[in-house]
Amino acid sequence: MGEELKVIVFKLGSEEYGIEVEKVQTIERLMPITRVPKTYAFVKGVVNLRGVVIPVIDLRGRFGLQEAEHTDQTRIIIVAVNEMQVGFIVDSASDVIDLNSDSIDTPPEVVGGVKAKYLRGVAKIGEERLLVMLNLSEVLNKSEIIQLEGLED
């Protein structure tokens, strides 16, 4: 029997994605983002969250999806990746669910336009719902993390 995971569910377009709760520090409403020159296009800039400067990434841009208008539902999910805080802009963050690790299958090569290397797997929830689990260490590769760490100074 696999282990139970608590997962935060968020949306990009019509696809649902999940990140393990223990990797998520907070979920915030959209706030002013300060642009930073000479960064990757998907790096939207930095935010000051309770005195901490955190780089913010548009996950749609990271995955090569078409950017969307921000709405009242748009959220920034603050996660810890390799001892660094990073904010992900998502279309909405809906709920927290319990998931058995046995229900996570290896991802196909591409899911909803997102390359498999960014994905940990696809979880089946009930009969019709699929949840794409992110592989956070790949969403930000080492060279990008080094560049983002420079933004925190």
Give the pLDDT of residue 66: 87
What are the tens digits of pLDDT across the range 65-118? 888 899 999 999 999 877 789 999 999 998 899 998 888 888 766 656 566 677
- Average pLDDT over the chain reads 85
Q: What is the pTM of this model?
A: 0.86
Per-residue confidence band for 21, with pLDDT thresholds at 50, 70 and 90? very high
The rounded distance, in Å, linking the Cα atoms of 24 and 20 is: 7
Q: How far is CA 32 from CA 15, 37, 139, 143, in A?
A: 26, 16, 23, 26
Give the pLDDT of residue 129: 85
The rounded distance, in Å, linking the Cα atoms of 7 and 1 is: 18
Domains of the chain: 4-152 (2.40.50.180)
